[in-house]
Structure 1
Amino acid sequence: SRYFIPHLLALSTSSPFWHGTNTGLKSYRSVIFEMLPRTGIPHSFDSWAEYVGFTKTMDAVGAFGKRDKVAKIWWDIRPHPVFDTMEFRIADICTSLDDAVCLAGLFQAICAKLIKLRRHNMAWRHYRHMHISENKWRAVRFGINGELIDFGREESVPFPVLAEELLEFVDDVLDELGSRQEVEHVRTILERGTSADRQIATYEANGGDDNREAALNAVVDFLIAETKAGLS
């Protein structure tokens, strides 16, 4: 599942501003979060026993503190210590409810497809941590408007192309999960942009840096309206 972390981040980017400044990144929240310990892309484990051994060592040296223990691991993807589920933490905060539901459905579909492959004695290829980190940076910087590396082809590919390939990858599990409509909302995100894209467009449409305070107020108004629309 680690391979898909950058793809999921790109689709959910929503934090281009920091302290009222356009950072030039589509997900500055991801940059801030990685300043904390036990965050970011996890390294792979060959077995559940190896993962449990890692957590026991970290607990023994006091890395987790006295409460919540393994919940103090905040990787982009992790096994949940209580619910026995795989938890995707990579997504930025979607300001559109439809986008959030789409991402949740995509998380589920990816896991279902990987399980299906394993049951047929097939497996998704493991890629180096450094490779995935490069793609994550591209997702942070450009969101859906840039290119990610296809390591099989050994070339950079426009994100919309890779997104369509991801939809094709999970296609055969969507009907069983009952999430086809929700997951195919990916195409709407590609067409009208992520929250980050729309925040930046709102900022620029209201004067941008030349009218900074009013432009930022317009962004806040946009975020409030979009959030309320999802709740109504």
Structure 2
Amino acid sequence: MEPLTFGVEEEFFLVDGRTGRCTTGASDVLRTAPTCEVEYAAEITEFQVESVSPVCRTADELATRLDQGRRGLAVAARRAGQTLLASGVPIHEPSLPYALTETRRYRRIAHELGGVMESLLTCGCHVHIGMPDLDHAVAVSDQLRAFLPGLLALSANSPFFRGRDSGYASWRSILWRQVPSGGPPPVFGSTAEYQAEVRGLLTSGAALDRGMVYWMIRPSSHLPTIEIRVADVMPTVEEAVLFALVVRGLAATALARVDAGLPAPAAGDSMLRLALWRAARDGVDGMGLDPVSGRLLPASLLIDRLIAWARPGLVAMGDEVLVSRLLAASRRRGSAAARQRAAFGRRGAASDVVELLAAHVASRLDPVPPGTASE
């Protein structure tokens, strides 16, 4: 199998470095960010920005582009007297009224969603994987649904909200449960059924356009790609690269299974939502619910099983060794949520969490060694 192309979008907050409170000025930051191969984009508010990698083929290339994007935004933010933060939710609640990015579409989204708009004041990591065509993308979505809880647990990076511990590893995913066009995708079974589900969202008004189809797995209707949208933005480049490689490995395995006519893992809608709630609560540090068997297991074991299912794809992509190394390094460091809580625990100060996240957003803790992706 030829390596599947992939790209990553990362969303970030702009905050006051002293207080950790969201600050407006995204337009200025985006305008002054250094030019490079990475694209920068606005989000729904003036305190969120996005970095969009180009299409990549190797882990080395992706790591370089993510690093460029983070550093470019961090430099521009610093020049504007602000700090770039990689957290799934704002540590402190933004001031009302929210400073919206001035576009007609964003104003309409805010009007239609009403109070649910709060769910969009979050930052995620979206991984796009190249697919042969829409038919394959839809079939791969069905194959991957059961692994959404494991992917959420692996990425969980939003325990603090409104200045205190939410009790969840990923509060972002809890907020997103309110969004009518979000959540895990249904089982499609065919491209025709996928199109029918999209039409239903549009007809109901839950989605104003196809860009508002916010499923955790989203086949593209205009590009030969599939987008995995379940993850919190992660604190470091290494964790983002690990996540993207795992997603590509899962997609490659799923693609081979589709071509071989193998059935998708059977995860019912109710059990999948429960498993996603459990993943949001515990992340990788507690228990996880297997949405196929319905069994409660150590979350670390569910991650190991996810990696085992992805292994054929990881091998085919040349990423097995690197993923093993990055996962081991991640476990030695501790999860993102645990690191945030440890920082808070030293003095009971949310400012220490902000300082930790700001220090790591554009740093390379464990650089991806050149050439390791093909070992």
TM-score by length of 1: 0.87
Are 2:368 and 1:229 aligned? no
Secondary structure in 1 matching 2:230: coil
Secondary structure in 2 matching 1:94: coil
TM alignment of 1:44-63, pairs within 5 A: 44-60=187-203, 62-63=205-206
5+ residue gaps in structure 1?
209-214
Distance 1:28 1:154 in 2: 23
Which AA in structure 1 matches 2:242? Answer: C
How far apart are 1:155 and its partner, in Å?
2.6
- Residue 156 to residue 56, structure 1, CA distance change in 2 (3 Å): closer
Q: Which residue of 2 aligns with 1:203?
A: 344
Q: Give deviations 1:138-177, integer Å, cap 9, x for gaps.
A: 1111110122233565532111122222222222222321
Q: Which residue of 2 aligns with 1:83?
A: 223
How far apart are 1:230 and its partner, in Å?
3.4
Distance 1:151 1:25 in 2: 19
Q: Which residue of 2 aligns with 1:218?
A: 352
TM alignment of 1:47-196, pairs within 5 A: 47-60=190-203, 62-65=205-208, 69-150=209-290, 154-184=294-324, 185-196=326-337
Distance 1:23 1:57 in 2: 34
Equivalent of 2:176 in 33, 53, 67: 33
> 2:145, 2:217 within 8 Å by CA — same for their partners in 1?
yes
> 1:138, 1:146 within 8 Å by CA — same for their partners in 2?
no
Distance 1:40 1:153 in 2: 20
Q: Give deviations 1:158-210, integer Å, cap 9, x for gaps.
A: 111222222222222223212224422223323322211100111102x22xx
| Bigger Cα displacement from structure 2, 161-170 vs 44-53 | 161-170
Equivalent of 1:20 in 147, 163, 174: 163
Distance 1:77 1:143 in 2: 19
TM-score by length of 2: 0.56
Secondary structure in 1 matching 2:231: coil
Secondary structure in 2 matching 1:91: strand
Distance 2:292 2:270 in 1: 15
- Residue 63 to residue 158, structure 1, CA distance change in 2 (3 Å): closer
Identity level (%): 29
- Residue 174 to residue 57, structure 1, CA distance change in 2 (3 Å): closer
5+ residue gaps in structure 2?
1-143, 368-375
Distance 1:34 1:183 in 2: 30
Structure number with higher relative contact order (C-alpha < 8 Å, ≥ 6 residues apart): 1
How far apart are 1:62 and its partner, in Å?
4.7
How far apart are 1:8 and its partner, in Å?
0.4
Distance 1:153 1:25 in 2: 24
Distance 2:213 2:343 in 1: 36
How far apart are 1:81 and its partner, in Å?
2.7
Q: Give deviations 1:86-114, integer Å, cap 9, x for gaps.
A: 11100011011111011111111111101
- Residue 40 to residue 179, structure 1, CA distance change in 2 (3 Å): same
> 1:71, 1:80 within 8 Å by CA — same for their partners in 2?
no
How far apart are 1:80 and its partner, in Å?
2.0
- Residue 151 to residue 87, structure 1, CA distance change in 2 (3 Å): closer
Q: Which residue of 1 aligns with 2:148?
A: 5
Structure with the largest fraction of helix: 1
Distance 1:137 1:61 in 2: 26
The alignment covers a number of residue pairs equal to: 222
CA RMSD of aligned residues (A): 2.0
| Bigger Cα displacement from structure 2, 91-100 vs 116-125 | 116-125
